[in-house]
Structures are given as C-alpha cells and as structure tokens.
C-alpha cells in the first residue's frame, strides 16, 4: 500500500513512469523490460484542475498492490482524488475508440484486470483505448452519487476532443464497463445528456453519448433484491428512497436515444445476479434499442480476460468485437 498522490504526483511524468514500470517490478529478471506498442502511452488528467465538488473532500488517494507472487498485476485504487484516462494506442488504428470503466463495487477501481488487460487486447485489434480511473461516491463529493457519472461524461467528451490527434473517428467511440463499472457505463448509456456538472472547457461542448455500450457482468438495478448490496450502499447509502433507486437503476431510464448495447453475464454469478443483465436487456428491447445478450452457464463474477481459459465464456471478447463491427465501431 502506498499513497498514490505522493508517489504519482506528476501526471505527465511520475504516474506514467510508475505504470510502465509495473511489468519490471513483477519480473524477477534484472533486464529492463521492452516497451511494446500496447503499453500505455500517456496518462491524461480528466479535469484541468480539481474535479467538480472537491470542497470538503479529505480522502487520501491510495493504490493497493494485491499482486500474488508469480501472478499477473493486480492493483486497485481507493479514494480517487485525481481522475485520469490511461491511453493505449494501437500500432494500426482502426478508427474507433473504447473508454473502459473497471469495476470494484464503487469502493475501489481495479485497473489491471478489467482495465489495462482488456485495453491491450482491444488495442491489438486496432482500437484506441482509454482506461478511466473514476471517483467513488462514498468520498463526499459535492455531486454525491453523480460524481462517477461526472467523470464518465467527461471521459467520453475528452476522448472525442483527442480524436484527431489519436487517429480515430469521434463518431466511433464505445464504452465498456465491468461490474460496478458496468453500472457506471449503463448510467452513462442512459443519462449521457443529464447535466451533472458545469462546462469547464471546449471538450465539454462535445457529446457524452457513447456510440456503443458494452456491459460486462454489470450491476444494473438499485432496487433491493436484484441490486448488488455493496454497490447500492456505496452509491446511495443504507436506505435509499424508491425515487433514488429508480433514478440510479439504468434499466428504468432507457429511452429510444440509447446507443446499441452488448450485454454479457454468467448464469452462476453469485456476486451480481444475472437478473441485472436480463432486466437491462428487457428494457432495451421494449424501446427497440439494438441489443445483444450473452448468458453463459459458468464463469462466475469478475472473470475479465484472465479467468476464461477452457470455458465457453472465453468467446466473449470475439463476440463483442463482432457486435461492435456490425454497428460501425
């Protein structure tokens, strides 16, 4: 455990250096690791100054390194104070981009497993990727439960602002969220035009509507029963009103303006019940939104890319890519 604010104070230097050095720390050999094109190329601050509603926030941003010796990197950030976008540029860009939102129950952001690993896979196939480190709702931000949504809206707008320089089409920007990050992605999918913060620069003149959304074992409902209790408590507190639960349940906020949605879940998920994806898919079809749902017999929760070998759920990345291409992404 270390204080990320102290260790990674310089977003233009220290943070990127730390991220790129991660492979070296995990490698027992003294040789300097070779940087590949699918390493992160830069880390962008999400906001030009302090995020909205920072007054009174005292939480200390911390990175927990949970890597098991000999295993893949596993880092989680708690109490995010300085949201960022970590960029993975492809060798040969296909003209599309994906903003990734890792999970963590709205208590932490698990960047490696669901963010960086997936970004490398996508970048290898031509997608310019942005991994979002977003703020968490329990840290007393001014916007409360909308603080993560502020970051998600800003992330898509900032990505579009970078499109020309990064060789992708600003009209081909997808989002992908996992678990609680799936709830954030689903919230952005349905509330992309909600005014949750004031304009800070020209990037905010751009649309926050994604051109496609991928929800991977997502938390969706905030209604007691199907809701993931931990995410619900972190987002809305121990006793949300029915009105709050409805507003923050994306399945209850689907309109015909929602972009195409890809949904993936395992039937044996004991953490986030599969009914979350079923409810979202039903709501999408009721509004005639193009949507595709894949439910696999086994896979559990939080499998990402690292826990799929030998299982039918191993097909999911290719299924997503096929869906995305069919819809122009």
Question: Rounded to whole angstroms, how far apart are CA atoms 61 and 6?
Answer: 9
On average, the pLDDT of the chain sits at 89
Query: What is the mean pLDDT of the segment spanning 54-68?
Result: 94
pLDDT at 22: 39
How far is the first Cα of the chain from the last one, in angstroms, to the nearest whole number? 38
Percent of the chain with pLDDT over 90: 84
pLDDT at 41: 79
Residue 182 pLDDT greater than 80, yes or no = yes
Residue 181 pLDDT greater than 60, yes or no = yes
Question: Rounded to whole angstroms, how far apart are CA atoms 166 and 284?
Answer: 32
For the chain, which domains are there?
37-326 (3.40.50.1820)
Residue whose entry in the numeric block shows the structure tokens 């960086």: 116
pLDDT at 173: 98
Global confidence as pTM: 0.88
Residue 36 pLDDT greater than 60, yes or no = no
pLDDT digits (tens, 9 = 90+) for 142-161: 999 999 999 999 999 999 99
**Phi, psi of 18, deg, nearest 5:** -65, -45
Residue 6 pLDDT greater than 60, yes or no = no
């Amino acid at each position: 455990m270390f204080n990320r604010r102290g260790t990674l104070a310089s977003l233009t230097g220290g943070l990127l250096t730390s991220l790129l050095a991660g492979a070296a720390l995990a490698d027992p050999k003294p040789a300097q690791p070779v940087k590949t094109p699918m390493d992160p190329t830069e880390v962008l601050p999400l906001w030009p100054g302090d995020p909205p509603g920072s007054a009174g926030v005292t939480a200390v941003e911390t990175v927990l390194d949970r890597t098991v010796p000999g295993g893949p990197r596993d880092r989680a950030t708690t109490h995010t104070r300085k949201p960022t976008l970590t960029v993975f540029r492809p060798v040969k860009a296909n003209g599309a981009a994906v903003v990734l939102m890792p999970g963590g129950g709205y208590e932490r952001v698990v960047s490696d497993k669901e963010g960086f690993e997936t970004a490398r896979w996508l970048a290898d196939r031509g997608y310019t990727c942005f991994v979002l480190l977003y703020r968490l709702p329990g840290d007393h931000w001014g916007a409360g439960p909308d603080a993560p949504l502020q970051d998600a809206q800003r992330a898509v707008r900032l990505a579009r602002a970078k499109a020309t320089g990064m060789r992708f089409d600003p009209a081909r920007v997808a989002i992908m969220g996992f678990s609680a990050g799936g709830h954030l992605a689903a919230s952005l999918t349905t509330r992309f035009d909600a005014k949750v913060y004031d304009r800070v620069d020209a990037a905010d003149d751009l649309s926050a509507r994604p051109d496609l959304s991928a929800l991977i074992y997502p938390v969706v409902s905030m209604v007691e029963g199907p809701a993931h209790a931990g995410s619900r408590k972190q987002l809305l507190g121990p006793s949300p009103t029915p009105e709050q639960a409805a507003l923050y349940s994306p399945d209850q906020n689907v309109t015909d303006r929602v972009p195409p949605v890809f949904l993936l879940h395992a039937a044996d998920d004991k953490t986030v019940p599969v009914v979350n994806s079923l409810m979202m898919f039903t709501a999408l079809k009721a509004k005639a939104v193009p949507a595709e749902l894949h439910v696999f017999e086994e896979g559990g929760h939080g499998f990402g890319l690292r826990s799929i070998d030998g299982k039918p759920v191993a097909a999911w990345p290719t299924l997503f890519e096929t869906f995305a291409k069919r819809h122009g992404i």
